[in-house]
Amino acid sequence: MLEHIRVLDLTDERGLLCGRLLADVGADVVQVEPLDGSTARSAPPTARGGAGPSMFWETFAANKRGVALDLDSEEGLATVRELARRADIVVTSLPASWLRRRGLDPDTLRAAHPHLVYAVISAFGWSGPKADYADCDLVVWAAGGPLDPHRDEERPPLRISVPQAFLHASADAAAGALIAVLARATTARGQVVDVSAQASLGTATLARVLAHAVGDARPEWHRQPAAGGDQSGSGAATPNRLKKWRCRDGMVELHLSMGPASGEFTNRLFAWLRAEGAVGERVAAWDWKTLPQRITDGEITDADLDEARAAVRAHLATLTKSQVLEAAMKHRLLCMAIFDMGDIADSPHLDERGYWARVDIDGAEVRIPGAIARVSGDGQPGVRRRAPRLGEHTAEVLTDWLAATEVET
């Protein structure tokens, strides 16, 4: 697919995913590390309680070849620059000051090699007032906007469960780099693909944080609704505690939607509860499509709604996630189990689609996340090799890339 594309990967753990995505579609991605190894090699989670390898590295560096060079010596840096000359794409998430001191920044490399597509992954972008701000995943989420609505009523915002701001940025960088390569076929010139993780979060969260830009001064999630402001039971403004329900082995997301558009889903839910003997006739007889008007008219009170929720809560608490999902499929309910890692690892759906890749790590076969897409036609994205050991391919890559340069010259 992209076997003709060479990628020089100068990322640390923040940008590691970008090269993995490009490698999955066939690109020859070479991960450059200092002689003592990338910091990504110790990024959590690690196997065997911390004594084993980083599964972060094993997953996101898979499919790449690795070279180890002395990045503080002129000889090592000269080699990196030579590799950049042979590359189609350079991708980095290393600090701008570090890159500039070594002459590996976009301006320097592209001045020498105008064909180069250079993708930069950073917290706030390569330029601008915040370009040099200290950053971490939590800082980027806070600055990107999604943390503000990530709260329950008046409680403080919650952090995103797993660090992932730079994963979104890395995926955007891979897409942007490929678009730039496509454009190069017309212009014969490369480009700088400048990806800000703060900006990536806008699209990663359904662009809700961008509502202000299109004139919505009070997006519905901005604060929990004022009285009467949200009667849907499923809107983003509905408190999380009214959408998450405990069952025997975890939690499910289930919405008590009301109104003409989605009230029928809740009618089906209460028809199921009625059949199970789990709700009284008075509540079961409600038409949730007309409930908003009845609430407005005072026919249905908060106490009535609490009674309906109590019936749902009590019934779901007797079931497993799997049983709730079976009922949701049977009765066509707006519901989904909240999976934990064990659920995902055991997912028959992912297994059926051949999602998992198997690689050898220290003599053991280990499943890692496979390619994110399947395509029609010849060739498939996939994992062809495990993550490289430190310096494993240094000699091989220097021969492949630099010797080829001499022959062509």
> Is residue 233 domain-resident?
no
Tens digit of pLDDT at every position of the chain (409 positions): 899 999 999 999 999 999 999 999 999 999 999 999 999 999 998 888 878 899 999 999 999 999 999 999 999 999 999 999 999 999 999 999 999 999 999 999 999 999 999 999 999 999 999 999 999 999 999 998 888 777 776 788 888 888 899 999 999 999 999 999 999 999 999 999 999 999 998 888 766 666 666 776 666 554 544 444 455 555 556 677 788 899 999 999 998 988 888 899 999 999 999 999 999 999 999 999 999 899 999 999 999 999 999 999 999 999 999 999 999 999 999 899 999 989 999 999 999 999 999 999 989 999 999 988 888 888 889 999 999 999 999 999 999 999 865 555 4
Of 338, 355, 377, which one is at a domain's C-terminal end?
Answer: 338
Q: Where are the alpha helices (DSSP H) in 16-152?
A: 16-24, 55-60, 74-86, 96-101, 106-112, 137-144
pLDDT of residue 378: 80
Of 283, 313, 338, which one is at a domain's C-terminal end?
Answer: 338
> Is residue 216 domain-resident?
no
**Same domain? 283 vs 155:** no
Instruction: Of 176, 172, 178, give the one whose Cα is nearest residue 201.
Output: 172
Secondary structure element (H or E) that encloses residue 132, with its range: none
**Same domain? 269 vs 392:** no
> Is residue 228 domain-resident?
no
**Same domain? 309 vs 172:** no
pLDDT of residue 409: 47
Cα–Cα distance for residue pair 221/210, rounded to 1 Å = 12
> Is residue 96 domain-resident?
yes
**Same domain? 326 vs 360:** no
> Is residue 143 domain-resident?
yes
Query: Can you say whether residue 19 is alpha, beta or left, with left for phi > 0 and alpha for psi between -120 and 50 degrees?
Result: alpha
Three-class DSSP category at 275: helix
**Same domain? 333 vs 360:** no
Of 288, 313, 338, which one is at a domain's C-terminal end?
Answer: 338
pLDDT of residue 217: 66
**Same domain? 91 vs 172:** yes
> Is residue 325 domain-resident?
yes
**Same domain? 300 vs 330:** yes
Q: How many domains does the chain have?
A: 2
**Same domain? 278 vs 153:** no
pLDDT of residue 405: 56
Torsion over CA: 262, 267, 269, 270 (sign): positive
> Is residue 109 domain-resident?
yes
CATH number at residue 291: 3.30.1540
How many whole angstroms from its chain centre is CA 175?
14
> Is residue 37 domain-resident?
yes
**Same domain? 302 vs 351:** no
Tell me which residue range forms the domain holding 371. 6-207+347-402
357 neighbors 367 (Cβ within 8 angstroms)? yes
Three-class DSSP category at 174: helix
